[in-house]
A and B are shown apart, each in its own frame.
Chain A
C-alpha cells in the first residue's frame, strides 16, 4: 500500500495515463451512449446550443432500416459460418503441422504469411481469383470481342489492342484493310462521344460504362451519324447529328450509300442470346456490288483473364459461376466472403493452437499410445480437451472479430460493399456505422454501435458460460 501521505505522488505518476484514457477511451464511450439516446443529434447544432429529444428513437430507426437489418443478417451469417469453419480448420492444420518434423518451420511460415499481409491487398487478390483483375467497368467489356465480317462465313476478329480505365481500341482486318474501333466509357448514354480521330481507316465509337452496353456508330445516308447501342434492354439507336466527314467510312464508293446499321441477335446452340450481329451494306473500294458487312458483338467464353477459380471450374468441366460480379447471387457472394475470411483468420488461430499443442506434455500421448488409443480418439479425447483453453480463446476472439467484420468486404467488393449494381448488399454492422457517420447521422451510428456492443457482449457471455463447463483449465 502506498502510504496516504504519498498518494498524491502516485496519482501524479498515473496522471498522463489517466488523462489519455479519459479523453480517448472513456469520453468517447460515454459520448456514444449519450448520442445514441438523443434523437437526430447533430454535433454542430449541439455546439450551437440546440437540444435534442431524449429517447430510443435512434434504436427504433435502426431496426426500421432495411439496410440495418441487411447488415445484421450479413454480420451474423458471416460470424456463424466463419468462426466454426476457421477454428476447425486451424485445429486440423495445427495438429498436422505439430506432428510433422521436416518442413515444419517452413510450413508454419507459409501459414503465417496472411497474418502479416494487408487484408485489403489480400482481398483484392481474392477478388481477382474469383473474377477478373481490374475494375468492374472494364470487366464487362473484356467479355466481348468484336468481329467484323464482310461475308458471314469469313469472320475477322477485332482484337483488343489498347486499354486504360475509360478507353480502349479494337483492331481488326477486313479485306486486308485494318480497321480500328475506339470505344470510350461514359456514364450517360446521351453523352456518348465519338472519339475524334478520323484519320486513316479508323472507326470510332463510344461505349456506355454504366451497365452493359456497347455503342457503335454508323453514318446515315444523309451524312449524319447513327450510334447504335447494344444494351440490356435491347438495341438502341441514337443520331449524333454531327456533320463532319468520316474518312473511315469511305468503305463505300458513294458516301450517300453509307450504311444504315441493323442488328440481329446472335444465339448459341442452346438458343441463348450471346450478343448481337450488326450489319450494313457496303460497297467495296475496288468497286463492285455492295456486300453485307457484319460486326458481331459477342460473348466469348474462353477469355484467359477470368479468375483462377472459374478457370479451374471450367477446366474440370464445371460451369462458370458469377461469384462477385454484377447480378451475382447472395449465396455466391457469401461463399467468397467465407473463403476469404476463413483464410484470413487461419494464421492467428494456427499460431495460438500450435503454441497450445506444443505446451501439452508429450507423455500424455505416450500414455495414450500404450493404452492403445486410436488417432481419432487421441484428437477428441486428449488433444482437444487439453487444448480447450486455447480453443475457447480462439473462438471468443473469433466471434468478436467476426462481428466487427468490415475490411474484408471492402477488400473484395470495394467500399460499395456489394457487387456492381447492388451496393450495400454485403454491408456489415461496422460498415453501417461508418456510413451513418459519413452521412452525419451520429445518433443512428451511436445507436448501432451500442447494438453491436450488446450483441458482442451477449455472445461473449454465452461463450464464456459454455467454456466454463467445457474447458479444462
Chain B
C-alpha cells in the first residue's frame, strides 16, 4: 500500500491567548511513500516527526492537505478505520494484560464480518509472536520483559491485525546500544518478511540510514531532503542535511571561491568550475581527508585516536566551524609523532560547497 502525503500541514494553535504564536509542526509535507518500502523519517527533536506519524494514523487531524492510502482518501477517516499499526515511542503496552492479551487485543476489537473465532485469534497471535520471536513470553506481563522484548511485543501488536501500514515512532530510543543494533535489524527483517509499507521515525541518523530504503530528513516541520540513504549522504542538498548525516559529523569550514579556486584560509583545497566568486561554507566528510605532507590544508595536530582498522586524526584550524576537525584515515598511514601540524589532501567527492547566506548546496564539478 503506497501512502501519499499531499501538502500535509499541521498547525497547533497557540496555548497562550495573548501571544498569537502558532506552532507549525509540519509544513507542506509532500511525498509518496512507495509500496512495501521502509521509510526512515529523520530529524532533530521537535521537527514534527511524531506529528507526521500521528496524522498518518489519524490520531491528529490535518490543518490542511490530504493523505491517501493507495487510492483511498483517508484524510477524514478515524484511526480505527485506517488499518494502520502504530508502535509508540514508549510502546504503550497495556500494563495489566499479558503479552498474549496485548497482542490479541486488536483482534478482539474486530466486529461484524471481520470477527474472528477464539482459535483464529490464538493462531494469529501465535503467528505474530513467532514473527518477532517472543512466542516463549506470551504469559508474561509487559513489566516482566526487557525493553527489547517489550518493543517486539509492541510490533507484534501492531502487526497482528495485518495493517496496511506500519508506523514506528522512535521504537529504539529506550534501548541500549547493543539491543538497538539488534532490534533494528529485526525490524528490517520483519518488514522484509511482511512487506508492509513501514514508516520509521528516529532522530538517530545512523539508525535511519542503516535500515531504510528511503530517508526523509526534516527540520522545523519542513522536509529538507528525500532519497536513498547513501544518495542523501553522498549528496546532501543543504548544510543542515550534510551536518545531520554521518558520524563523526561533517567538518565545516568557512571559506571562499575565487576564480574557480576553493580556498580555506589562504589554501586552495580543490577547484570548482563555473561557480561565481563568493563566500562559502565548505563541508568535508571525515573520510574525505588524505594525509599528505604536500597536501594543501594545514591543520594543527591535536591527537590521533587509533580505532583498529581506522584512526581518527583530531586537529584544529582557524577556519573550522567545529571546535576540532575529525578525519578518518587508514591506520596504516602513520602521522609523524610529535609533529605540530598535519597536512591533508581532500577527496573531491567528499567535499561540499554551500552558499553562505542560504546554506544551500552549490552543485558543481569539484576537482
Contact = CB atoms under 8 A, between A and B. Distances in A.
Interface of A: 361, 363-364, 366-374, 377, 381-382, 385-386, 388, 472
Contacts of A386: 94-96
Contacts of A368: 105
Interface string B108-119: 111100000000
Given A363-B90, A381-B105, A382-B94, A370 B85 contact: yes
Contacts of A374: 109, 111
Given A361-B92, A364-B94, A372 B57 contact: no
A385 B109 contact: no
Given A363-B88, A377-B109, A381-B105, A370 B94 contact: no
Interface string B80-112: 110011101010101111000000011011110
Nearest to A363: B92
B65 interface: no
7 contacts: A372-B79, A372-B81, A372-B109, A381-B94, A385-B97, A386-B94, A386-B96
Contacts of A370: 57-59, 79-80, 84-86
A371 B59 contact: no
Interface string B53-78: 00001110000000000000000001
A371 B88 contact: no
B161 interface: yes
A367 B81 CA distance: 13
Of the listed residues B86, B88, B95, B96, the one surrounded by the most CB atoms of chain A closer than 10 A to its CB is: B96
A372 B81 CA distance: 7
Interface of B: 57-59, 78-81, 84-86, 88, 90, 92, 94-97, 105-106, 108-111, 157, 161
A90 to B, nearest CB: 20
Contact of B86 (A361, A364, A367, A373): A367
Contact of B92 (A367, A373, A381, A385): A367
A377 B108 CA distance: 10
Nearest to A371: B106
A371 B161 contact: yes
Nearest to B60: A366
Contacts of A377: 108-109
Given A369-B79, A372-B106, 17 more contacts: A364-B92, A366-B59, A367-B88, A367-B92, A370-B79, A370-B80, A370-B85, A371-B80, A371-B157, A371-B161, A372-B110, A373-B105, A374-B109, A382-B94, A385-B97, A386-B96, A472-B96
Contact of B80 (A361, A364, A373, A382): A373
Of the listed residues A361, A370, A374, the one surrounded by the most CB atoms of chain B closer than 10 A to its CB is: A370
Contact of B96 (A361, A366, A367, A385): A385
Nearest to A366: B59
A372 B86 CA distance: 12
A472 B97 CA distance: 9
A372 B59 contact: no
Contacts of A388: 96
B85 A373 contact: no
B1 to A, nearest CB: 16
Nearest to B161: A371
B80 A369 contact: yes
Nearest to A361: B92
Nearest to B93: A367
B157 to A, nearest CB: 8
B104 to A, nearest CB: 10
Contacts of B108: 377
B91 to A, nearest CB: 9
B13 to A, nearest CB: 13
A444 to B, nearest CB: 47
Give 5 closest A-B pairs by Cβ, nearest first: A372-B80, A472-B96, A371-B106, A363-B92, A385-B96
A436 to B, nearest CB: 46
A203 B238 CA distance: 108
Contacts of A371: 80, 105-106, 109, 157, 161
Nearest to A374: B109
A362 to B, nearest CB: 9
Contacts of B96: 385-386, 388, 472
Contacts of B57: 370
Of the listed residues A368, A386, A388, the one surrounded by the most CB atoms of chain B closer than 10 A to its CB is: A368
A363 B90 CA distance: 9
Contacts of A367: 86, 88, 92, 94
A208 to B, nearest CB: 66
B314 to A, nearest CB: 43
A96 to B, nearest CB: 21
Nearest to A373: B109
B88 A366 contact: yes
Contacts of A372: 79-81, 106, 109-110
A339 B363 CA distance: 80
Nearest to A382: B94
A361 B142 CA distance: 15
Contacts of B97: 385
B59 A369 contact: yes
A472 B78 CA distance: 30
Contacts of B110: 372
A388 B90 CA distance: 22
A110 to B, nearest CB: 25
A350 to B, nearest CB: 22
B68 to A, nearest CB: 19
A388 B109 CA distance: 22
Contacts of A373: 80, 105, 109
Nearest to B160: A371
Nearest to B85: A370
Contacts of A363: 88, 90, 92
A24 B177 CA distance: 60
